[in-house]
Structure 1
Amino acid sequence: MKWIEISVAIERVVIEEVTTLFDTMSSNGFIEEDVPNEPNWVQITLYGDTSKSTSEWETLIGHELEQAQFNFKHLKAKEVTDTDWYNSWQQYIEPTEILPHLVIRPAWKEYIPKEEDQVITIDSDLSFGTGAHETTQACAELMAKYGTKATTCLDIGTGTGILLLVAHHLGIPKLIGIDIDASAVAQADANCETNAVDAKLICGDLATDFKGTADLILANLTVDPLKMLLPTISEKLDSKGILIISGIIDERYEEIKPFITEHWQVVEEVIKGSWHTLALAHKE
């Protein structure tokens, strides 16, 4: 598979706003690097799919930055292979303490644990599924607070299976992950095997391929699939269960809010960076 690598230099003072903008344009993460001899500038690299050509990506990124009135330079896009992409971001992913004394270790990184550490090893060909993202961390925090008494955890859009492995660490006995992407399911299955965790992985549709209910459901997705899936999720969550949703960026928070408040009670909201994560329960 091929990807489009887009790099651009932006002023350091607007880096948070620019990375928030890029979060809405690519789910594959991005890389921040210093610009040699220019301390006020940062180079951002992100990866898009080949549904757009290199020139179309350059036009799109340039237009978005101009519309937001951000100064930028050295904008260029090129086609790269899976291997190029994998090697470029992989070096920047470090072990992450996702919960106190629970460390997510990328399989390609050496890590010497402290005596009290428990370590989950994750291999991934996606930069999003290694525990470093704010949404993953916020989901883990809410799971530790509201999910420890759950008996069944269902992870929708399981990706690398990282949240299922956290659920196992929290002592939840029955673990189920579902994803529409067969490669993600295979990756999650491999990560469960690496960590000696027993989980059921389903490649398919939530409405038809997951039978029964769960008392803890995780859905770290994005706004569009959340809007579509929330009614179905309601049918899959036990009456006293907890739903944790994430992947809601600031700019789209008001858009999804009515879908939440109409049928759900907000138990708690966590905001990390530009991302909102919510623990929800059925309305009484």
Structure 2
Amino acid sequence: MSWTEIVIEVPLHQAELLSDALMEAGALSVSVEDADAGTDAEQPVFGEPGMEPTQPGWERSRVVALADADADHDAIITDALAALGLSAGEVRHQLRAVADQDWVRLTQSQFEPIHIGRNIWVVPSWHDAPDPGALVLELDPGLAFGTGSHPTTRLCMEWLESHPPHGLSVLDYGCGSGILAMVAAKLGAAPVAGVDIDPQAIESADFNAQRNHCDIAYYLPDQFGATEAHTRYDVVVANILSSPLKLMAPMLAGRVKQGGALVLSGVLARQAQEVIDAYAPYIALCVWAEREGWVALAGAAKTDGGR
């Protein structure tokens, strides 16, 4: 089956209305892009990680609607623009053919095995492991964060590889896909637990753990609090963002056993001192490593619970 893209440029204040109107007129899907992308006039929309967007769109927006190749494209354009009180002659628009492709194969080709640290490979299910003797995680890109491609995930995985938690208990807080918990389990950690606020992430992490033959218990925060209220761990890893990490300092520090390790990432290098200061009353942290502007912080709890 083949498709056609209907591309219409409008000002920011009309983009959302036009998107809705195109769907009503018969488009299969709609996306909005910066009409000036790739030029000196390109407008960044998002601020720092964990912050709200600096603006809700682009002053010159390109609305791209996908339609069947044999649909009445002129009618879709006319009907959609009429909802804005416009005609086709008043706006810049064009049709673009979308070539028929093996979309599954095309998508899979964009995800190759990832080599991390000394001996870790993250391998999509449609690839063979480059080194079967390595620590291999079979993991497909999905809805939950964590495939090993992001610097913060790599930093945490490299810390675990450098400090093998064999025979130690590990908590992965903000587990996403469960990748850090699985690395810990494959390095001999037990028991291993993961926590995330997103039920979909818990479902994804549990599926990934079973696929990789890892015995890991995953929880939503309320379940974790009720089931593991007094449990502390030899290693606690949290790859989130600086703002929630600072807010959770007492809780996360309180989950670390006496002499245990706390590892934090999702922190930009310029935010490191703020996070270190937030944890100072509980655990002394320092920058363990930096990658592409992101850092991993690590420290040991000298007294039980950091108190």
**Structure 2 length as normaliser, TM-score?**
0.64
Greater mean alpha carbon deviation, residues 273-282 or residues 141-150:
141-150
* Counterpart AA for 1:257: I
- 1:168 positional shift: 1.5
Match of 2:137 in 1: 120
- The alignment's C-alpha RMSD in Å is 3.5
Aligned equivalents of 1:90, 1:127: Cα separation in 2: 17
Aligned counterpart for 1:278 among listed residues 297, 301, 304? 297
Go from structure 1 to structure 2 and tell me whether the alpha carbon gap of 1:209 and 1:173 turns closer, same or farther (over 3 Å shift). Answer: closer
- Residue 179 of structure 2 is aligned to residue 139 of structure 1: no
Go from structure 1 to structure 2 and tell me whether the alpha carbon gap of 1:115 and 1:215 turns closer, same or farther (over 3 Å shift). Answer: closer
**Structure 1 length as normaliser, TM-score?**
0.69
- Residue 196 of structure 2 is aligned to residue 179 of structure 1: yes
Match of 1:216 in 2: 235
Go from structure 1 to structure 2 and tell me whether the alpha carbon gap of 1:160 and 1:262 turns closer, same or farther (over 3 Å shift). Answer: same
Structure with greater strand percent: 1
Aligned counterpart for 2:258 among listed residues 239, 251, 259? 239
Go from structure 1 to structure 2 and tell me whether the alpha carbon gap of 1:94 and 1:23 turns closer, same or farther (over 3 Å shift). Answer: farther
Match of 1:99 in 2: 117
Aligned residues of 1:267 and 1:281 also touching (Cα < 8 A) = no
- Residue 63 of structure 2 is aligned to residue 24 of structure 1: no
Give aligned-pair identity as a percent: 25
Greater mean alpha carbon deviation, residues 111-120 or residues 139-148:
111-120
Q: Deviations over 1:135-189 (max 9, x none)?
A: 1111111112234245211100111000111101211121111111100000000
Secondary structure at the counterpart of residue 295 of structure 2: strand
Go from structure 1 to structure 2 and tell me whether the alpha carbon gap of 1:252 and 1:268 turns closer, same or farther (over 3 Å shift). Answer: closer
Go from structure 1 to structure 2 and tell me whether the alpha carbon gap of 1:77 and 1:230 turns closer, same or farther (over 3 Å shift). Answer: farther
Which consecutive segments of 4 or more residues in structure 1 shift more than 4 A? Answer: 2-7, 74-80, 86-91, 206-209
Unaligned runs of 5+ in 2: 1-28, 67-102
* Counterpart AA for 2:296: T
Aligned residues of 1:121 and 1:195 also touching (Cα < 8 A) = yes
Unaligned runs of 5+ in 1: 12-17, 28-47, 60-73, 81-85
